[in-house]
Amino acid sequence: MNFRTLAVLALTVVASAELQIGVLHRVPPEECTKKTAPGDQVKMHYTGRLFDTQEVFDSSVERDQPLKFVLGVGHVIKGWDQGLMDMCVGEKRRLTIPPELAYGKRGAGAVIPPDATLVFDTELLEIVSPHDEL
């Protein structure tokens, strides 16, 4: 193996470990009065799939129960804390999350195998900033 081949292989490994964010529905700038920031309580709908098989392992949409959590403080996997920043209410994103930013080598029970890349389709329904509650 020569240096060029090693460099290409190294770049491939680094690129595959990055969070990928795709915007499925963008909110027009004039309608986006607030974007998500660390410390915001957010309300989301999501559907999670395994990248390899596209098998759905969880969906708030199917349950009709949005998830509420505080963004950017470790209440959810790192891929969500990073991938849901600067999002507008009504925006939809597809997050492709490498294992390092999801459940890593341990997986999650019988549902998510070790070293699984996950795909989440998300929709931001509501933002409550900490200062809004005063």
Catalytic, out of 21, 40, 77, 112: 77
Residue 112 annotated as catalytic: no
86 as an active site residue: the answer is: no
58 counts as catalytic: yes
Give the active site residue among 51, 57, 69, 115.
57
Task: Compute the 3-state secondary structure of the chain and give helix, strand, coil in percent, each to the nearest 5.
Answer: 30, 35, 40
* Residue 120 annotated as catalytic: yes
Catalytic residue among 21, 97, 103, 112: 103
Q: Shortest CA distance to 132 belongs to which of 31, 30, 26, 33?
A: 33
The active-site residue out of 51, 58, 69, 115 is 58
Tokens 């491939």 belong to 12
Neighbours of 33 (CB within 10 A): 10
Instruction: Judge whether 3 counts as a catalytic residue.
Output: no
Q: Is 46 a residue of the active site? A: yes
Of 97, 120, 121, 127, catalytic:
120
Contact (Cβ atoms closer than 8 angstroms) between residue 45 and residue 61: yes
List the catalytic residue out of 46, 81, 112, 127: 46
Q: What residues act catalytically?
A: 46, 57-58, 77, 103, 120
